[in-house]
Structure 1
Amino acid sequence: MAGLRAWLLCMAVALTPIAQAQRISKPGEYAGYSPRLYDRWVRSSVYVPVRDGTRLAVDIYRPATTSGQPVDKPYPVLWTHTPYQRAVRAADGSVQLSGDTFMPSRDLVLHGYVVAIVDTRGKGASFGTRRGMQDSTEGRDAYDMTEWLARQPWSDGQVGMLGCSYVGDAQNNAAATTPPSLKAIFPGASSFNRYDFVSRGGLTAQFHTRPEDPRDQGAGTLPVDADPQGLDLAAAREGHVRNTAMASIWKDIPFRDDWSPLLKSRFWEETSLSTYRNAVEMRGPVMYRWTGWADEFSAEQFIARANLKNVVKLLIGPEGHCRSDQFNLFAEHLRYFDRYLKGVDNGIDREPSIHYYTYNAEPGHEWRSADSWPLPGTRKERYFLSAEHGLASGKPGRAGVLRFEVDYAVVKNDGKTLLWPVSQFGHGLSYVTPPFTEDMQLTGHAVVSLWISTTATDGDVFAYLEEVHPDGSSALRAHGRLRASHRKLGTPPHDYLGLPWHRSFREDHAPMRPGVPEELRFDLLPTSTLLRKGDRLRLVITGADPRQRSVPADAPPTVSVHSGGTMASYIELPFVPLKD
């Protein structure tokens, strides 16, 4: 018997590494903790009334048995709040389900979650009228929907949210109302302060001024199950024609403290997560925020993390808006929700909180992790502009000036949305560093300080930071913008990572005096890139950007960029120690 016990003990010791090797939990990889429990799901669709009686259309996806019946076991619920129609009938008669095409949803159901997709009021098959974008009414709807989902017999009372872009910010809107059952959210490409994102630098982003999409009228939306003839759907769409047009809102509120006559509120304050940060920190859900370096939302993730202890994870990859081609985002959703909704001890909460991608790193070493931002050891170095189109570290050179006429031809007002600019080299002024003599890692937020004069009383200034390789190829890595009349700096009401912040109140508006230089200081969106020996950095400055919707009717102004002497324009670059 003693010999048998010894043999069993030896076998247990021998097999332990094998068992442990089958359990993997690290960013983008997950195995051995959350098996696929089902091989099919079933969908149902209902109307759910919120507190003011408005009925919202909801699609519910539940795990199903082999016979196609929903399972009886209650599970955590994950939901999305979308203006993009939860389900539609295509022109060929086929049904396209958001739950089928929205990347993580269906597979999460198969791993033991219930997924719900909700049309926002005034959209899809939901009743009501849309007041602006993600206003307090939509927030209250999210509160009511969260608690309704938590009470259902197929729910275990634990509720989370997921989605990207508008559907990412919808999670912030829900979190601001602190519903008790909302435990964890996974917002992609979302904001912290609405003004600092939508009107960054005083310029409204293009994708918030696009013409209304035909889908906004609900064409093709599927009715709920109890409305096979679509009578309720038709009645709901009658109210949608009174929805507030987005572009009309922005034109009335160019300043942060503006009152919106359309919405009867201070829109920027009402719809910003930053307004509610104290309540969210005390009673709100934990957050996993993600985006890509090539996305306008990148800076907002780091600022949210600096101000909300609820932000337990931050992921930033190399791609653009709502893209994750080089990272297994499904695995990351599953790891996160398993930990915070099911209590699975998979270690995600013990990892470094930031996981980010570095361009040009050696294959297999592009992804890095950190627990603080800016990164430890960040060294800020100023590179001064010169009248010879140079960028040099050290001290400013002699005084000089270069001029360009604003090129409005770059503006493509074709109704399309360009979420990330292309290189503007050749459309303004360019300044370039000498080739680097050793490898350098640039990670963080660059800041420009530009002495500008113009022949106009106002104007927009765009700055683009590009890496240039010895073969002449280049890549745009960061950009920023500022309307000259918004140049006054202020003290931010929250942690802004030490970056220049423009209050942009109406009383701060300061027109330019033609020919008189003024200092414009603003940050560029963050990035992380490895500059190889022989690479150079190029700063491009223009007065127009392809993402603008319109241009001034006046003749293009001439803009002067001053350098050296007492008007030493520069760019401040964040370098960090190289990884071994």
Structure 2
Amino acid sequence: MDSLEEKPFQLKIDKNKIKYFGYTSNSTYIRCKDGIKLATSYFVPKKLERNKKIPTILIMERYWRHPELRRFFKWIFGKNYTIDAFAKIFTGRGYAFVIVDCRGTGASFGKRKYPFFKQESLDGNDILDWISSQPWSDGNVVTRGVSYPGTMAENLVALNHPTLKAFIPLHCGFDPYLQAAYPGGCYNIGFLKRWEESSKYLDVNSPLAFKTEKLWMEYLMIRGNTPVDSDKSRTLILQAAKEHEENHYSDEICRSRFFRDSKLDGEQPYDIISTYSRLESFKQNNTPIMNISSWYDSGYGEAVINRFMNMENPGLYIIGDWNHGIGSNANPFNKKKIPLSVKNMKECDLVLKHIYLDFYDRCLFGEGYKDKTLYYYTVGEEAWKKTTIWPPKNQEMQKWFFNKNNKLSPEKPNENLGEDEYKVDFNTSTNYERNRWWTLLGYPIDLSGREKQDELSLIYTSDPLENDLEITGNAIVTVYLKSTHEDGALFIYLEDVDQENNVTYITEGQFRVIHRKISEEKPPYISCVPYHSFKKKDVLPLLPNKVAKIKFGLLSISALIKKKHRIRVSIAGADKASFKRYPSIGNPQLKIMRNQEFASMIELPIITKEKE
């Protein structure tokens, strides 16, 4: 039976677990088998007992392993200021801490073909061998990372190296095509262009990356990445930066490769960089996992569910209500909340580091994990829940139909010819730089302002609810439409409308209509939504002014809609702030069918109460 109010975290820090105070820091190059040198910083507890062997926490970093302060700030704060919090806490708990610039980034040498390319992950074998050879290493390594480094942590485990004992991938994709680059087949141009711009600056060791991200304090304080200890003249870091000028980047790679089977380097499709392509490797090692993300972080809440449903790794799978990286609250139902419900973000950051260490301790020195558990946060109710199955127990799909007078109703329409016209407004959007897609850059999330967007959209709103209604899982929309154009996209939002007509965002889904064919092929992994291949061979352009069926899943959520509130479905044809325009020219006029033959609807994943 699923348990209510089961929290995934122990928020109290046990100071008795802090064994050491202070650390030594060093940096060097690890030479890979092909001769490429990877810049590595490592931190070991100060006054470590003679002949004492300890485990290691490893991070493979895409975004500078150790940012270097400008001289004035280094004089004030010390040379390790930007990494001190990690080094101090990790070494204090009796771990060595190793952080490496990935191949083709930071002070490391090499060039990059595309994100998560194969050799980048294979470098992990050389790094792990190096760690095992160090005099302080007991041969046990655990790994973690947020976003790109989170995927690298996962890729390390897929190597099946004998040293790896636990991993914590945070806020990273399972299916990067659908969860970051092309959600619903729609190109996430806003994020990918900004990511490319900042990555280019990082790779040539320029702090202009922080200016691009509007991180003004970091831009003021940070000079660049830190050279390794032996590179006193900075010759090597400059040589590495020069090599990086030949790197390839996200927008350049993805913008013309809009099908799932498009080749990233002329040979490999998107599958090669996806976690689901490594499922067999994970089955071989069964390494314990702590996987954390948020309902509101791009498609990465979905990624946690994908892992839980498809991976056998025991441990904790956690979906909260914060932004990418747990840097701020994202919950539109409780805007003043601090993530983890602690006093402030400083405490949140400190508590999280100890949570990760408690997980490692249990895996290395304690009882470990035999089973897997998914913890998820229900917004609106403001409660943690846990389950050992997904979809959770007592979920049933409830149909709500589009009806005349913009009504959303459980009753199927009884009209023969009912339809609603909508001319696509390409100014519709979620908030620029403050939505679930831009938070991939670490930006805060603000999902307010839906009232204004609904004025530009086609909406269907229910009557006030007679009872509270919990929605947990993926809503599925089925839209019958006619269009004046062969191509286009649907952006559908699920919303809560209170008694004062305030509108609260619940979740969303986007879909490029040429991908509407529901494939009969075996999906690459198990999910809860209709399977569209997004392959070139399955493209089906619309026949202008002919009815087409578009069925797809919205992103998962757990939300409680209160009694007397109303449910709203808001339909648009664009998201100007985030996605490419479909079609590229022209202004489609849509007709949404809502009649007996073509009954457009949304199926909501409702959690029913158990009968006593």
Q: Same fold (TM over 0.5)?
A: yes
Relative distance call for 1:489 and 1:553 in structure 2 (3 A) is closer
Q: Report matched runs for 1:131-210 at 5 Å.
A: 131-197=113-179, 198-205=181-188, 206-210=190-194
- Post-superposition CA distance 1:172-218 (Å, at most 9, x none): 22233222212211011112223232322111324233242122322
Q: Report matched runs for 1:270-289 at 5 Å.
A: 270-283=272-285, 285-289=287-291
Moved over 4 A (4+): 30-34, 69-72, 95-105, 411-417
Contact 2:475 2:603 in 1 (8 A): yes
Gaps of 5+ in 2: 1-6, 207-223, 328-337, 341-350, 440-444
Contact 2:204 2:242 in 1 (8 A): no
Relative distance call for 1:457 and 1:336 in structure 2 (3 A) is same
SS in 2 for 1:409: coil
Instruction: Please point out which of 374, 381, 385 is paired with 2:391.
Output: 374
Q: Report matched runs for 1:119-518 at 5 Å.
A: 119-197=101-179, 198-205=181-188, 206-210=190-194, 211-213=196-198, 214-219=201-206, 220-260=224-264, 263-283=265-285, 285-296=287-298, 297-323=300-326, 325-327=338-340, 328-340=351-363, 342-345=364-367, 349=369, 353-361=373-381, 366-398=383-415, 399-410=417-428, 418-419=438-439, 422=447, 423=450, 424-490=453-519, 491-518=521-548
Instruction: Please point out which of 62, 65, 77 is paired with 1:83.
Output: 62
- How much does 1:167 deviate? 1.4
Letter in 2 for 1:575: I
TM-score by length of 1: 0.88
Contact 1:387 1:400 in 2 (8 A): yes
- Post-superposition CA distance 1:305-349 (Å, at most 9, x none): 111101521111111211164224334212211111x2224xx73
- Post-superposition CA distance 1:421-449 (Å, at most 9, x none): 84332221111111110112111111111
- Looking at structure 1, the residues matched to 15 and 289 of structure 2 have their Cα atoms a distance apart, in angstroms, of 21
Relative distance call for 1:28 and 1:326 in structure 2 (3 A) is farther
Relative distance call for 1:32 and 1:520 in structure 2 (3 A) is same
Contact 1:99 1:105 in 2 (8 A): no
- How much does 1:484 deviate? 0.4
Q: Report matched runs for 1:5-154 at 5 Å.
A: 27-29=9-11, 35-65=17-47, 73-91=52-70, 93-95=72-74, 100-101=82-83, 106-154=88-136
- How much does 1:119 deviate? 0.7
- Looking at structure 1, the residues matched to 61 and 79 of structure 2 have their Cα atoms a distance apart, in angstroms, of 13
Contact 1:389 1:432 in 2 (8 A): yes
What is the Cα-based RMSD across aligned positions, in Å?
2.7
Letter in 2 for 1:248: E
Relative distance call for 1:471 and 1:105 in structure 2 (3 A) is farther
Contact 1:100 1:106 in 2 (8 A): no
Letter in 1 for 2:104: G
- How much does 1:256 deviate? 1.2
In terms of mean alpha carbon deviation, does 507-516 or 391-400 score higher? 391-400
Relative distance call for 1:441 and 1:542 in structure 2 (3 A) is same
Relative distance call for 1:91 and 1:331 in structure 2 (3 A) is closer
Contact 1:442 1:527 in 2 (8 A): yes
- Looking at structure 2, the residues matched to 510 and 82 of structure 1 have their Cα atoms a distance apart, in angstroms, of 41
The higher radius of gyration belongs to 1
Relative distance call for 1:397 and 1:208 in structure 2 (3 A) is farther
Contact 1:465 1:539 in 2 (8 A): yes
- Looking at structure 2, the residues matched to 34 and 371 of structure 1 have their Cα atoms a distance apart, in angstroms, of 32
The alignment of Structure 1 onto Structure 2 pairs a total of residues equal to 545
Between the aligned residues of both structures, percent identity stands at 26
Aligned: 1:537 with 2:577: no
Contact 1:253 1:259 in 2 (8 A): yes
TM-score by length of 2: 0.83
